[in-house]
Amino acid sequence: MEKLGGKGAGLPFFAFIDSKGELIVNSKRATEANPAGQNIGHPFAPEEIAWFMQMLKKAAPRLTEKESQAIESWLKSQKK
């Protein structure tokens, strides 16, 4: 996990890698207050869901808009 930027990040921690095992993007979302990023965990809050969707666009560029919308809708439906 350390190689992928997840040291001390907690779980769940997401990291998308390429075919060579190199990091594409991970679940540490940078903010103005924390430029190094903080792990979003299970994306629940709107800003966490937005970051997860950006992660998917970077890691799975062939994901269709319909597929992307289905994932985003499901995440948004997970309110407590």
Q: Please count the other Cβ atoms lying within 10 Å of the Cβ belonging to residue 14.
A: 22
The model carries a pTM of 0.91
Rounded-to-integer distance, Cα 80 and Cα 68, Å = 22
pLDDT digits (tens, 9 = 90+) for 16-69: 999 999 999 999 999 999 999 999 999 999 999 999 999 999 999 999 999 999
| CB-based contacts of 8, cutoff 8 Å, min separation 6 | none
pLDDT average, residue stretch 65-79 = 95
Looking at residue 29, the DSSP 8-state letter turns out to be E
In this predicted structure, the answer to whether residue 3 has a pLDDT above a threshold of 80 is yes
CB 47 within 8 A of CB 39: no
pLDDT, position 79: 74
